[in-house]
Structures are given as structure tokens and as C-alpha cells.
Amino acid sequence: MNRPAHVMTLRLLKGFALSVDHIRVPMCSSAQRLIAFLALQGMPRTRAFVAGTLWPDVTSSRAHANLRSSLWRATRTGHPVIDTSTQELAVSRHITVDLHEAVARAHRLLDISRPCDDILTTETRVDLSADLLPEWPESEWVLMEREQYHQLRLYALEAMAERLTAVRRHGEAVAAGLAAVRAEPLRESAHRVLVKAHLAAGNRGAALRQYEQCRCILSDELGLEPSQTLRNLLPAPTRPTERARSHQPPRRVPVR
């Protein structure tokens, strides 16, 4: 099968951008929504399904009219961005979608049976640090897809930090852990992999500071204390419970 002469890429992480031969293609918002929706589906969808999902608050005839208009606007780019048939629509199979590649790398990181040395890169960390279409209106389908990727990328960033810690790439492990914490500050497991990365690098002070940050956030926002699992990571003399005991005044023995 002959591939098109042009290289087409679709960015959905950090924001929408369609490029052909590394040149961004201008596109109206309705065409962007249609292309993004089809790219997120990962499979052909019927015209009725697409119209009903993208325009749920109008009549069926109006939704189909909106779909025809958006489809026409998308074809005005002059590039084959959508594969069409009488009944179904799909994003062109010749378009490389950044989200698809990021999801594939995330699943590899989470599969402990698979080596991942080739994807323990800055590019992977940057993609997993970005949310899906973060500035788009909060339509139901956008929110669902965004939350699904958000959860996946958090687990993947944590797995990446642990893999990098295991191969003694401590600076990169800390960067991955920090990305997970920034994405979800209330997530204790993100703080945990970051504390482990600091300890593996021999930075006990940084590990303790990260623990204290986690403790303050959990206490202020949720009224919770860090788990015993997280506390046990710290060297015994620096554990909060140990330090608290060491500062207690000596117990007085009553004189009989």
C-alpha cells in the first residue's frame, strides 16, 4: 500500500495542532472537535454516533447538519485528514497521533514483564506530563477521555520513576516523580516514588523535605496523615515518629 507523500501529525496533548510536513494547518473549532473526537475513538464510528455525541443537545437532524458542516470544513484543509464512507467516519490512518503513542508507551511502562530502556526518555516524560486538550470546553466526551488519560499517565510516571531509580538514573527518576506530584499533589503514591528516588541518590534531606510536603498537603486538604508505608521509607532516626519521641521530655518517676 502506498503511503501519502506528506507527513501528517496530530497533537492532542497540551492542545490541538494538526501539522503537515511540520507546518501547522489552520482549522476552525468545529473541524478541530470532529478530528479530535475521531482520533480519540481509535476506530471507525457511524455518522449517527458521531453527530449524537458531539451535538447531544440538539435535534437529530440539526446534529447531522452540524456534522456535515464540520466535515466539509475539515476537508477544506486540502489534506485527507478523515476517512469517510457512506455510514462511517474515522481519522485518517496516515495521521500520527501523539496521544496514541503516549498511551502505548504508558502501557509498556506499566507492564513489568517488558523492558523499557528505549522509552525511558525526556520525550516520554514530557508527553506523560501533559494533559489531554486541557483548555477545551468541558464537554462530556472530552472530560471522560481527559480523565482516563490523566489516570493512566499518573501510574505511568510513577512506574517510570521506579524504573529509572532501579537503573540508578537518579536525576531522571526525580524528574519523573516530580511530574507525577505536580499532576496530582494529593496522590501519596507519587510522593512515595519521589522519596524513594531521593533516597536512592543518597539525598536523605530531600527525601525528608518531600515527606513533609506530602504530610502538610494531606493534612491541610484531607485531614489525613501519610501512611505507615510512606513513613517506613525514611531512615529510622529521621522518621517523624522517632523525632517526635526524641523531643519529648523525660518521664518523671513519682517519689514514694
Domains detected in the chain: 8-93 (1.10.10.10), 99-239 (1.25.40.10)
In sequence order, the 6+-apart residues with CB closer than 8 A to the CB of 2 are none
Q: Averaged over 203-218, what is the pLDDT?
A: 96
Whole-number pLDDT of residue 114: 93
Q: Enumerate long-range contacts of 55-61, CB under 8 Å, 24 or more apart.
A: 56/140
Whole-number pLDDT of residue 242: 45
Element (H, E) at 84: strand 82-84
Distance, CA of 171 to CA of 211 (rounded, Å):
18
- Each residue's pLDDT tens digit, 222-233: 999 999 999 999
Q: Which residues of 128-165 are buried (b: 16+ CB within 10 A; e: fewer)?
A: bbbbbbeebeebeebeebbeebeebbbbbbbbbbbbbb
**Contact in structure between 157 and 195 (CB atoms under 8 Å):** no
Q: How would you classify the pairing of strands 95-97 and 8-11? A: parallel
Is the pLDDT assigned to residue 148 strictly greater than 80?
yes
233, 226, 194, 193: which is closest to 212 by C-alpha? 226
Whole-number pLDDT of residue 206: 96
Length of the chain: 256
Is the pLDDT assigned to residue 249 strictly greater than 60?
no
Distance, CA of 159 to CA of 225 (rounded, Å):
24
- Which amino acid is residue 98, in one-letter code? D
